[in-house]
Structure 1
Amino acid sequence: MLLDALRELNGWVADDGRLSRSLPLDASQHAELAEQIKIFADTLGVRPDVRRTDEATLIVLAREGGFSLTDVTFAGRVETAYITIAGDLAAREGGLAKGRFRWLRRGE
Structure 2
Amino acid sequence: MLPFGPPGQEFLDDALRLLKEWFGDAKEIRRTLHISDAEHAALTERIKVASDVFQLIPEVRRADGNTQIRVRTADGGTINAGAVALAARIEAAYQAVTGR
- Please give the TM-score of this superposition, normalised by the length of structure 2: 0.79
Tell me, which stretches of 5 or more residues in structure 2 are unaligned?
A: 1-9
Q: 2:44 aligns with which of 34, 41, 50?
A: 34
Higher relative contact order structure (alpha carbons within 8 Å, sequence separation ≥ 6): 1
Q: Determine if the alignment matches structure 1 residue 2 to structure 2 residue 2.
A: no
Q: Is the 8 A contact 1:22 1:57 kept in 2?
A: yes
In the comparison of the two structures, how many residue pairs are matched? 88
Tell me, which stretches of 5 or more residues in structure 1 are unaligned?
A: 91-108
- Please give the TM-score of this superposition, normalised by the length of structure 1: 0.74
Structure 2 CA distance, aligned partners of 1:10 and 1:83?
A: 13
Deviating above 4 A after TM superposition, structure 1's stretches of 4 or more consecutive aligned residues are none
Instruction: Find the residue that maps to 1:20 and give its secondary structure.
Output: strand
CA RMSD of aligned residues (A): 1.6
Sequence identity of aligned pairs in percent? 36
